[in-house]
Amino acid sequence: MPYTYESWLRRAKELRPPDSHHINGVDVSGHGDGYVVISPRDGQALARVADAGQAEVDLAVTAARRAFDRGPWPKLAPAERGQVLLRLADLLEEHRAELALTISLEMGKPISDAYGIELRAAISTFRWYGQLADKLRDESPHTPNDALALVTREPAGVVGAVVPWNFPLTLASWKLAPALAAGCTVVLKPSEMSPLSALTLGRLASEAGLPPGVLNVISGDGPVAGRALGLHPGVDVLAFTGSTAVGRHFLRYAADSNLKRVWLELGGKSPNIILPDAPDLGRAAATAAWGIFFNQGEMCTAPSRLLVHRSVADQVVDAVTERADTLRVGDPLDPATEMGPLVGAGHLERVLEHIGDGVADGADLRTGGERVLSDSGGSFLQPTVFERVPVESRLAREEVFGPVLSVFVFDELDEAVTLANDTAYGLAAGLWTSDLSAAHQVSRRLKAGTVWVNCYEEGDLTVPFGGMKQSGNGRDKSAHAIEKYTELKTTWIQL
């Protein structure tokens, strides 16, 4: 970390985040008085930003439509589009400290993670797709001698991208970079709780050389701006990351409008299975703790269900609990902080409600479960561990989206797999074992889009990411993400 706590505090006082939409390459104030973005760090106002209604959504979609139908972006050579994305990656690197600070202030991510993890991921994503842009291939299937068949991938059109607050730039980049590389134009709506970093990204994209209208960023809430984007007939593809409940709304919006394609990356209740032959039980326990407490547990892939074999359960749970008790919760601007506040007071209350329901349902609260640092005005919560969680309880079945771990003990491997799959979700899973056969066999049986073996949250941009069941459809990351933003066209030429 190249900056000290004092320097981050000083930068925070000097920060002047953008407060208007970025549409057609220019700032647009919009109607009304806007709304106030509150920092979960101290409960204080960060900025008053423009609030998009139907008029602003129409303006942004019209700009994107014009840029796609008449502008140069879809017609550019792929290598030229790639160069613009590479310039954008360079600008993100240049503004890395400013963007990390903005994220830390708007959603509570510890500054070390915002700078070292979130910005690294966003920068890498634009670079990766910038380098991929001119390496995509069309097809020419074998045909009879009197014909020629071409299968081409063409940009799908205008993309509406709606992303959440927990990784505001990482998840935006996972949508934007492949869509732009494919030649699409985009309207991005970040969460109303974390719009400032995305609005900054929109301005940097224009500075990097994206033509007007190619990337438009609007701030506003889901029931108004998100709904208007989902229903808009000028949007060809809708890409959403967020809750399963809101994902259902976007499917309805598509059905009620132009049957736009909807790609969903939704919630999770991910199992993390530790077998007694795990190669390193200490590392398995440490990773289990890191996984649920990283980013305050506000992560769709968080390993919120720890499934541990009875023979090693005490050892593993003791280690996780000790880590929970020693984790440094504090000001997200302090580089030494390991867990910051939850995103806001409302979300903190919802997580506390889940904790209360867990106790009422008979789960044993091993540690945590209380609000802390309340004098700061921030939304801080103790890392929390439950044991003996009833399998039919809300705590066992619903996504908490906070630093709350539920522990389950099993005796047989089949029991663990059955318990792991006993959920409406299917986003991710973890497995710890030294048995190569068990690793392969269990991974195949787990209903999850990603299975990590002897690790968790590992991988890079070469591999796809997404879910099964009610965790969504389609894939972010990798070359497969391009498929969401392109249409296949067959041209058959009779010779």
Rounded to an integer, what is the distance from CA 26 to the centroid of its chain?
27
- How far apart, in whole angstroms, are the C-alpha atoms of residue 103 and residue 124? 17
Going from the C-alpha of 467 to that of each of 306, 471, 487, the distances in angstroms are 19, 5, 22
The count of C-alpha atoms lying within 13 angstroms of the C-alpha of 414, restricted to the half-sphere facing its C-beta, is 0
Please tell me whether residue 150 adopts helix, strand or coil conformation: strand
- How far apart, in whole angstroms, are the C-alpha atoms of residue 471 and residue 467? 5
Neighbour tally for 246: CB within 10 Å: 20
Active site (annotated) includes residue 265 = yes
Virtual torsion, Cα 324, 325, 331, 335, nearest 10 deg: -70
Active site (annotated) includes residue 455 = no
Catalytic residue chosen out of the listed positions 106, 192, 265, 387: 265
- How far apart, in whole angstroms, are the C-alpha atoms of residue 215 and residue 200? 12
Please tell me whether residue 186 adopts helix, strand or coil conformation: strand
Catalytic residue chosen out of the listed positions 118, 300, 338, 483: 300
Residue bearing tokens 């769709």: 300
Helix (H) or strand (E) holding 269: none
Helix (H) or strand (E) holding 40: none
Q: DSSP assignment, residue 385?
A: E
Q: What percentage of the chain's residues is helix, strand, coil (to nearest 5)?
A: 45, 20, 35
Rounded to an integer, what is the distance from CA 11 to the centroid of its chain?
26
- How far apart, in whole angstroms, are the C-alpha atoms of residue 99 and residue 200? 8
Residue bearing tokens 């134009």: 185
Active site amino acids: 265, 300
